Amino acid sequence: MRYLLGALPLLASLAACQESPTQACPPPSAALADSLHRWPNEPPGFTTLTDWSYDQLVTRRNGKQAPGPSTWNQKAGTGSVAIVCDSSAPLSPRAVVQMNYPAGLLSGTEPWTLYFYLSPPGREYYTAFWWKTSDSWEGDPSGINKITFWQDAAPASANLVLMMNNQRQPGYVLSVMLEFNQAFNDHLVNVLGSRTAWQLFGNVNGGNYPVVPGAWYRVELYFKGSTTPTSRDGIVRWWATKAGAASPTQVGNYTDVNFDTPGFLQFSFAPTWGGNSGVRKRALDYYRIDHVHVSHP
């Protein structure tokens, strides 16, 4: 059974989207839909855990897990979430989820969390989704604009985070952050950090991949945990495809990463804005998500 968020604004926006004239939000052609559904860098033989179009939200509003296969949950943050229409959505148009960063949102917080519980926990996963920001996105002074989290099962939570980053350059790029408890990765090249916290930047195809606010991107991430926290045999790879591009661009390919020992138990869109820089959003911004896919061996 699917559970709709029990907030009237969301139900109203969903109804408005469903009642919009078909001409306003035309579906993609069959050929386009077929090509985009292939999730091009998914490893062969992987099993789908969830493939969610985000034309609706399922939840228990108190943040507890709702039952059922492929069930997404949510938890309130410092902003809001809504189902809106976007005819430019590349894969599942008409309805997309919008996570709103209101004016006054404090650095270091996330507007909302959309999460998928992994049971049992594992150490190897692939995920892909279509995502974009508002046209006039305001970056945090820290350069950190987080998108997704993979959270492991350690007593003190550790994370693998995908983000839109501008710490090393004026424009935004896609990077991956390791926020671990045990594993050190100071041997990696083209990274920024210390001890157990490291930013991984692009290291293939000419380096970093630029992200333009307001454009749709398919983002793919594959990772496999290392044998031990010191064995240097973990894998982190990610790709990006701007809507309209003929093929994905591989951004990062790290094959000597150290991971903590515990398996990962949760994947989420918990898009924290900034790194506690003390500033606040000056105007409304948003992330939109069109479709999300998660699989494992």
Question: What pLDDT sits at residue 259?
Answer: 96
Average pLDDT over residues 195-216: 92
pTM of this structure: 0.87
Q: Which two tokens stand for residue 200?
A: 């991984």
Q: First and final CA of the chain: distance in angstroms?
A: 26
Domains of the chain (ranges, CATH numbers): 8-296 (2.60.120.200)
Among 273, 291, 4, 295, smallest CA distance to 141 is for 273
* 3 pLDDT above the threshold of 70: no
Question: What pLDDT sits at residue 5?
Answer: 34
* 1 pLDDT above the threshold of 90: no
Question: What pLDDT sits at residue 62?
Answer: 52
Return the SS3 of 12. helix
Question: What pLDDT sits at residue 206?
Answer: 75
* 61 pLDDT above the threshold of 60: no
* 116 pLDDT above the threshold of 80: yes
Question: What pLDDT sits at residue 70?
Answer: 65
Q: What is the pLDDT of residues 162-198, one digit of tens each?
A: 999 987 677 899 999 999 999 999 999 999 999 999 9
Across 124-248, the runs of DSSP E, i.e. the strands, are: 124-133, 144-152, 159-165, 172-179, 191-194, 197-200, 210-211, 217-224, 234-242
Among 218, 202, 200, smallest CA distance to 210 is for 202
Which stretch, 37-41, 171-175, 274-278, has highest mean pLDDT?
171-175
Question: What pLDDT sits at residue 148?
Answer: 97
Q: What is the pLDDT of residues 79-94, one digit of tens each?
A: 999 999 998 999 887 8
Chain-wide mean pLDDT for the chain?
84
Question: What pLDDT sits at residue 235?
Answer: 98
Angle (CA) 153-99-163 rounded to 5° is 55
- Strand-pair partners of 66: none
Question: What pLDDT sits at residue 212?
Answer: 95
Question: What pLDDT sits at residue 276?
Answer: 78
Question: What pLDDT sits at residue 281?
Answer: 94
The secondary structure element, H or E, covering residue 103 is: none
Q: What is the pLDDT of residues 10-31, one digit of tens each?
A: 333 333 343 232 334 455 544 4
How distant, in Å, are the alpha carbons of 43, 123, 221, 242 from that of 232?
Answer: 21, 15, 19, 32
Average pLDDT over residues 112-121: 91
For 273-293, b/e burial (b = at least 16 CB within 10 A) is bbeeeebebeeebbbbbbbbb
* 6 pLDDT above the threshold of 60: no
Q: Calculate what percentage of the chain has a pLDDT beyond 90.
A: 64
